[in-house]
Structure 1
Amino acid sequence: MLSTQYVPGAPNWLDLGVPDVDEAVAFYSEVFGWTFESLGPDAGGYGFFRLDGRTVAAIGPLVEEGARPAWTLYFHTPDADGTAKAVAAAGGTVLAEPMDVFTAGRLAAFTDPAGARFAVWQPGEVKGLEAVMEANALCWTELYTTDAATAKDFYSSVFSWQYQDLPMGEAGAYTIVVPAGVAASPAFGQGGIMQLPQEHLDRGSTSEWHPYFGVDDCDATAAAATERGATALIAPVDAEGVGRLAMFRDPYGAVFAVIKGEPPTS
């Protein structure tokens, strides 16, 4: 379960890179009810999405030549420089060397051996997201990968993640990611890893991380997103023992998902 009491290897930040920040802000504000706070010209157009005054995500313009719009997940590290060395040693690629972001913290960006992008955040004055695990906030992270076995070895080496494999019949297994230092149980899961099926690979699917946002009504949120230009990759569907979920490509090409969890049973 995600928490704002961040431990090493846990998701602690999330941002969206897009060609037009104003248009993307309008889209996500209408879908999730977020407000936007720009950090001003010194931040190059970067700013925070807020929910009831608390930071739930961030957004900024694409600055890397050839980069495509995408959500980037950041994982907590107490030592960004050490993590960069661990990534390189485990077969990943360092896209952005560790750098200070004013006094907010220190970040670095990478790809894993299968090409999925991710980043790390070493907190300074900004500890991380201020709200998770509620409606219209981050509640899960997921890696679609072309090589699940290699991905699991890589992230275990870099973050000491633990795993629990859940059988999915003909689809194989869904791997629950559990941070180091807690019981290796799905109850403490922070995300999932799923091998891309062969038919997806044949269509050119590539490895990527994407966020899930909690919602009160999956179908209503799906309608709001598609009415405003998103493409449904997975139409609202019930997942046994999990809830009702949907996945989209936003109007700019970034992938995200939403989920309405099942109510607790007594």
Structure 2
Amino acid sequence: MSYVTANQPDGTPTWVDLGIPDLERAMEFYGALFGWEFRVGPAAAGHYTTCLLSGRPVAAIVPNPDPEATTFWWSVYFATADCDRTTQRVTDAGGTVVEGPVDVMEQGRMALVRDPAGAQFGLWQGRRHIGAEIVNEPGSLVRNDLVTPAPGVARAFYPAVFDFTLDGNDDLPDLDFTFLRRPDGHEIGGILGSPDAPASGWVTTFEVADTDVAVDRARAAGGSAGEVDEMVYGRLATITDPFGAEFSVIARAAGPVDGTGR
């Protein structure tokens, strides 16, 4: 297992969560898909429910507080050693603050922000909660990529906030895709320019042992899935949960294909 035991370097995708209208239904679906177990938080914490893999936190789901919400998505949080400082860098680079920075009890400090292209993401300064404790393994987070109709704006913003470097991708010459790398050279994700994208958003990808099996499980549990795509990095599919939240799953090809930081 790829265990994480300390806060990740700045800019690393460290946590994902999902607001949904039916907590019990969500636990049924994601438990059947990934084999997750769940630790339901108290009502005072909005029933924030931690998803566990081998007893360790890998993600969270929570009832959406907006009864009229019709759109749901997995939110990604990037690690930061100083949430207030990184939030200031967001605004300095042309982004906006949606919420925070604010302390989350003794767990950490967080903010929700939006980049100039319109994509929302979170910042997480871990204290007692460091983020996902298993990554790059079946049933856990493996990567996040930004899909946007305004890639130029995004490619200027994220290096300004996190000191990322940009790197082209010769493996996918037909796509407008740029890798994002931490200052130490580790790939944390990428930016996909897509003129047809209706909006900018971060796509969450979970690793699975077998993409075809995961697709069958998702459909049997009440979700839907697109066709499996064989690509240079592995077998990829887009899955939609019973509430309409989309995410990807991949069974990675053998070889040194980067996942999220560790």
| Structure 1: gaps spanning 5 or more residues | none
1:169 deviates by 3.2
The aligned residue for residue 166 of structure 1 is 169
Residues 1:69 and 1:260: Cα distance change in structure 2 (over 3 Å) = same
The aligned residue for residue 62 of structure 1 is 64
Residues 1:18 and 1:228: Cα distance change in structure 2 (over 3 Å) = same
After the TM superposition, which residues 202-221 of structure 1 pair with which residues of structure 2 at under 5 Å, given as runs?
Answer: 205-221=198-214
Matched residues, percent identical?
A: 36
Distance 1:51 1:140 in 2: 17
1:191 equivalenced with 2:189 (yes/no): yes
The aligned residue for residue 227 of structure 1 is 220
The aligned residue for residue 78 of structure 1 is 81
Give, as a single letter, the amino acid of the residue that structure 1 aligns with 2:167: Q
Residues 1:152 and 1:237: Cα distance change in structure 2 (over 3 Å) = same
Residues 1:65 and 1:122: Cα distance change in structure 2 (over 3 Å) = farther
1:255 equivalenced with 2:257 (yes/no): no
1:45 deviates by 1.0
1:228 deviates by 2.3
The aligned residue for residue 239 of structure 1 is 231
Give, as a single letter, the amino acid of the residue that structure 1 aligns with 2:73: A
Distance 1:100 1:14 in 2: 18
Residues 1:124 and 1:90: Cα distance change in structure 2 (over 3 Å) = same
1:249 deviates by 2.1
Q: Which digits, 9 at most, give the CA deviation of each residue in 1:84-120, with x for residues without a partner?
A: 2111121112111211110000000011111111001
Picking from 87, 91, 104, the partner of 2:90 is 87
Distance 1:69 1:78 in 2: 28
1:193 deviates by 1.1
Picking from 92, 97, 100, the partner of 2:100 is 97
Distance 2:14 2:173 in 1: 32
| Structure 2: gaps spanning 5 or more residues | 257-262
1:74 deviates by 0.3
1:141 equivalenced with 2:144 (yes/no): yes
Distance 2:224 2:151 in 1: 26
The aligned residue for residue 259 of structure 2 is none
Residues 1:54 and 1:15: Cα distance change in structure 2 (over 3 Å) = same
| Structure 2 contact 89–161 (Cα < 8 Å) conserved | yes
- Provide the secondary structure at the position in 1 that maps to 2:169: strand
The aligned residue for residue 120 of structure 1 is 123
Give, as a single letter, the amino acid of the residue that structure 2 aligns with 1:63: P
The aligned residue for residue 12 of structure 1 is 14
Distance 1:114 1:250 in 2: 26
Distance 1:61 1:82 in 2: 30
| Structure 2 contact 58–131 (Cα < 8 Å) conserved | no
1:170 deviates by 3.5
Distance 2:126 2:73 in 1: 22
- Provide the secondary structure at the position in 2 that maps to 1:15: strand
- Provide the secondary structure at the position in 2 that maps to 1:235: coil
Residues 1:95 and 1:66: Cα distance change in structure 2 (over 3 Å) = farther
Deviating above 3 A after TM superposition, structure 1's stretches of 4 or more consecutive aligned residues are 64-67
After the TM superposition, which residues 28-67 of structure 1 pair with which residues of structure 2 at under 5 Å, given as runs?
Answer: 28-63=30-65, 67=69
Distance 2:228 2:126 in 1: 36
1:43 deviates by 1.0
Picking from 104, 107, 111, the partner of 1:108 is 111
Q: Tell which has more relative contact order, 1 or 2 (C-alpha 8 A, sep 6+).
A: 2
Residues 1:65 and 1:149: Cα distance change in structure 2 (over 3 Å) = farther
Q: Which digits, 9 at most, give the CA deviation of each residue in 1:59-84, with x for residues without a partner?
A: 11222576531100000111111122
What is the TM-score when the length of structure 1 is the normalising length? 0.89
Root-mean-square deviation (CA, aligned residues, Å) is: 1.8
